Amino acid sequence: MNRVPTHPAPAPGILDIAAYVPGGSTVPAGVEPHKLSSNESPVGASPAARAALENVGDALQIYPDGSARALREAIGEVHGLNPDNIVCGNGSDDLLSLTATTYLKSGDEAVHTEHGFLYYPIVIRAAGATPVVAREVELTAHVDNILAAVTGRTRIVFLANPNNPTGTWLPISEVRRLQAGLPRDVLLVLDAAYAEYVRKNDYEAGIELVSSCPNVVMTRTFSKIHGLAALRIGWLYAPTHVVDALNRVRGPFNVNAAAQLAAAAAVRDRDHVARSVLHNEEWIGKVTDALRNIGLEIPASAGNFVLIRFGDETMCSAADAMLTERGYVLRRVAAYGLADCLRMTIGTQQVNEAVIAALEEFMGWS
């Protein structure tokens, strides 16, 4: 006997998706909150970006430029890129989803690493494809393991570099080796959301690879170093044939006018970027050293956050509860397979010092 449907059903695989849960911000009533769970900038947005928003309200009835031409030209000017090879989106998440939608279908596979960004399997499944996990080695993407995970059904490899939440990175020599080992019809997506923070001689965000390889794209964001998380704005650099395909399915006005104006001003404010980098460089070193000194394992991080390994899930939960009780909200990363870890965004000097002191007390160190 055939059952009569009671309601519309989503496409196959949609209900298998675990919804993405953002970093928390809730603390006990009466406690001042300090959110260190989403890798937001402690320095804030550029004054130039804030100034660019002053007159936005005068034209709210007008659609934004659907091509984000002025913003793409600003990005191209700063990074030395052809604006025609840039696509802008509602955060880099939008561009990751757009890429998956454009290049994946039912029966396809896409590879991501073991502790990679949780949004990758979401966009893969949403496109009807199957996510395939490549094991990491010492919390770091491993090229040979990624290549071993590639099959005849693979259409995309997603690589966050540096990776969130581990902070680890692959040198450009390994990224080149990965690209060289992939079939030419497999797209390598380099998610470089934290690229501006990296101060490693062996690192390159992916611009050179995109410029020389027909199967590589790079995504970037204004949410981190530029402090524009509230406006949701990101960009992608890709070969012409990829840009053409993405623009055929991209929403006609996927980037709002305020985001376009603020981002164009922000990317040109190199002094503000430099201040943000210097703050992070100073404090990621201090936080890492201080927490290692009290017996915690802190992997070297190239981003604006550190991974704190307690070695025990119960201890991690207790530390998280203690910090939250005092108003310091870090990110539990059990969903990434790291149940004994917290991820801490580098904050202001006062907040960083307070978290260090609280963890020193928690660990019984003096």
Token digits of residue 33: 């909150």
Task: Give the pLDDT of residue 1.
Answer: 60
pLDDT tens digits along 320-364: 999 999 999 999 999 999 999 999 999 999 999 999 999 999 998
Contacts of 364 (CB under 8 A, 6+ apart): none
The CATH number assigned to the domain holding 330 equals 3.90.1150.10
Last residue of a domain, one of 239, 269, 299: 269
> Above 90 in pLDDT, residue 29?
no
Asked if 260 and 133 sit in the same domain, the reply is yes
Q: Which domain range does residue 192 map to? A: 48-53+61-269
> Above 80 in pLDDT, residue 36?
yes
pLDDT tens digits along 174-203: 999 999 999 999 999 999 999 999 999 999
Task: Specify if 12 maps to a domain.
Answer: no
Task: Give the pLDDT of residue 246.
Answer: 98
Long-range residue pairs from 171-177, CB within 8 A, at least 24 positions apart, any chain = 171/200, 171/202, 171/203, 172/202, 172/203, 172/204, 172/208, 173/202, 174/143, 175/204, 175/206, 175/209, 176/209, 177/143
Task: Give the pLDDT of residue 366.
Answer: 42
Q: Alpha-carbon distance 153 to 158, whole Å?
A: 15
pLDDT tens digits along 281-312: 999 999 999 999 999 999 999 999 999 999 99
Q: Average of pLDDT values for 150-157?
A: 98
Q: What is the mean pLDDT of the chain?
A: 95
Long-range residue pairs from 21-25, CB within 8 A, at least 24 positions apart, any chain = 21/335, 23/329, 23/331, 24/329, 24/331, 25/329
> Above 60 in pLDDT, residue 25?
yes
> Above 80 in pLDDT, residue 169?
yes
Number of structural domains in the chain: 2
Q: Alpha-carbon distance 114 to 159, whole Å?
A: 11
Task: Specify if 22 maps to a domain.
Answer: no
Asked if 84 and 169 sit in the same domain, the reply is yes
pLDDT tens digits along 233-262: 999 999 999 999 999 999 999 999 999 999
Asked if 121 and 70 sit in the same domain, the reply is yes
> Above 90 in pLDDT, residue 16?
no
Query: Could you tell me the pTM of the whole model?
Result: 0.94
pLDDT tens digits along 76-113: 999 999 999 999 999 999 999 999 999 999 999 999 99
Residue 168 — pLDDT band, cuts 50, 70, 90? very high
Q: Are 190 and 218 in contact (CB under 8 A)?
A: yes
Which one has a higher pLDDT value, 22 or 165? 165
Last residue of a domain, one of 269, 292, 325: 269
Q: Are 43 and 276 in contact (CB under 8 A)?
A: yes
Task: Give the pLDDT of residue 365.
Answer: 63
The CATH number assigned to the domain holding 185 equals 3.40.640.10
Asked if 143 and 265 sit in the same domain, the reply is yes
Q: Are 260 and 64 in contact (CB under 8 A)?
A: yes
Task: Specify if 174 maps to a domain.
Answer: yes
Asked if 275 and 187 sit in the same domain, the reply is no
Beta strands in the chain (DSSP E): 34-35, 86-89, 109-113, 130-134, 154-160, 187-191, 216-221, 234-237, 305-309, 328-329, 331-332, 341-345
Q: Are 269 and 48 in contact (CB under 8 A)?
A: yes
Which one has a higher pLDDT value, 366 or 84? 84
Task: Give the pLDDT of residue 13.
Answer: 80
Asked if 169 and 307 sit in the same domain, the reply is no
Task: Give the pLDDT of residue 100.
Answer: 98
